[in-house]
Amino acid sequence: MSAPVTIELEDASFGWHGHAALKSVSGCFAAGGMTAVVGPNGAGKSTLIKGIMGVLRPMSGSVRVTGAGRAGLAWLPQAAELDHSFPVSVLELVAMGAWRRVGGWRRVADDELARCMDALDMVGLADVAGRAVGTLSGGQMQRALFARMLVQDAPVLLLDEPFAAVDSHTADELMALLCGLHGQGRTVIAVLHDLDLVRDHFPECLLLSGSVVAWGETASALDDAHLKAARRWRAEFAA
């Protein structure tokens, strides 16, 4: 794992075609933290993750990634954003996590393949390594994406709805894996909808609703006043 990474946002706004979906975010994700990003649909949660990753450039303000820079970030996108019909095997999908070490066109060496198989074993998919990704169930696909993230061996993990469309058993296993990665000193930033899960496992929380409603210790960020403010923004936005 590479050097510690911190992520600092200063009055950062993100959006598309001149329309800001998320406005004026200022704050810092410290190295080694474990933060849930929550809020109503359309509040800017996925937009924030894409802004941190550099997929979206700030419309205003700035994002600063210290330490290893964005090379120290691993991103688990929403499974719905991926083309499951792309003709690759599960092992090949997971091996894409090694591209920073291997390069785009070089053969994946045996030691990297062994690393990929170890990751698949950790998520319980070693026996389907040769199958096409299009044959996987929703839960298996999430496990495969977790394995790809493990292969990246990054100090910061950014996850966008990692437990969506999976059964409770799979969610519990992946959450335990995520807690283990955090226990190794990695920074975890995860977009989530289950507030009970957030309260049980995430010490810090960022509540968004088009802008920052609250950011800090989870119990405080998710108090009734903040949740009502987030819902009120959503109702006004939808009207």
Give the strand order in the sheet containing 60-65.
19-29, 7-16, 60-65
What is the enclosing helix (H) or strand (E) of 152?
Answer: helix 138-152
In this structure, is residue 129 part of a structural domain? no
Residue 137's region, left for phi above 0, alpha for psi from -120 to 50, else beta, is beta
Distance CA 29, CA 9 (A): 9
Residue 22: give the domain boundaries: 7-84+155-238
Residues 159-217 have pLDDT tens digits of 999 998 889 999 999 999 999 999 999 999 999 999 999 999 999 999 999 999 999 99
Q: How confident is the model at residue 107 (pLDDT cuts 50, 70, 90)?
A: confident
How many domains is the chain built from?
A: 1
Distance CA 181, CA 164 (A): 20
In this structure, is residue 127 part of a structural domain? no
Among 87, 139, 97, which residue's Cα sits nearest to residue 118? Answer: 97
List the CATH number of the domain containing 14. Answer: 3.40.50.300
Q: In this structure, are residues 30 and 60 in contact, taking their beta carbons and an 8 Å threshold?
A: no
13: its two tokens: 């706004």
Give percent of the chain above pLDDT 90.
Answer: 79
Mean pLDDT, residues 1-12: 86
In this structure, is residue 199 part of a structural domain? yes
User: Of residues 39 and 87, which shows the higher confidence score?
Assistant: 39
In this structure, is residue 111 part of a structural domain? no
Residue 120 has pLDDT above 90, yes or no: yes
In this structure, is residue 139 part of a structural domain? no
List residues bridging with 159 in a β-sheet.
76, 190
In this structure, is residue 219 part of a structural domain? yes
What integer pLDDT is reported at residue 82 of this predicted model?
74
List residues bridging with 15 in a β-sheet.
20
